[in-house]
Amino acid sequence: MCAFLDTQKLVDGCVSNDGDSFLYGASRVYRHFTLNSRDTSVVAYDAAKISTDLGLSRERLVLLGLILGCDFWPAGVPGVGAVSARTFVSQSDPAVVRSCLKLHDSTPTADKPASVQSEVWKKVKDGLCGCPVEEVCCALFPCLQPRYSFKACFALIVLLFDGVDVLHYIGFLLAHQVFEEFLR
């Protein structure tokens, strides 16, 4: 939820030790946050810096997360380590990989990019067999989904803010045009 609030520019960052925060859209994550008076510490990570310095856009991070293991696919891809995964992700267009992972991919091998003809690709394709890649991408990138219904948005708010004045919160979201993003 904090990552969603970050995407809406309602918070300055997320305090979390979960690296998946970037997959959900966080722009800044503060990890190892402690207020212990003897040992105060925090480490800040910035999505723009990760993208610039490492060439890992959010979409590439999602692909990397699926390969190495994340909330959506905890097992990751067996036999593919961090270095191979990083190289594969850096050389691949996530949209091409997503489309090639579809079950009925009939594109002739010669027409596919080299990255999806490699040994790592074969492991990725086998390792993500059964992974709902399209659903994961739609969950993480709402712009890929069809329109949300107001009922779904309302149900989400009720679930997330149980015990809080839900109508007040919805009024706040409407006033700040947050629902416009959902209803497009």
Cα–Cα distance for residue pair 54/151, rounded to 1 Å: 40
**Count of alpha carbons within 13 angstroms of residue 166, beta-carbon side:** 11
- Domain coordinates in residue numbering, the chain: 1-53, 55-139, 146-184
- Would you call 109 helix, strand, or coil by DSSP? helix
Contact 147, 183 (CB under 8 A): yes
Task: State the DSSP H helix or E strand holding residue 41, giving kind and residue range, or none if neither.
Answer: strand 41-46
pLDDT band at 10 (very low <50, low <70, confident <90, very high): confident
The per-residue pLDDT for range 56-76, each reduced to its tens digit, is 888 888 888 888 998 888 888
Q: What is the pLDDT of residues 14-37, one digit of tens each?
A: 888 887 888 888 899 988 888 777
Q: Which pLDDT belongs to residue 79?
A: 93
pLDDT tens digits for range 76-118? 899 999 999 998 888 877 776 776 665 434 454 555 555 556 7
Its pTM stands at 0.66
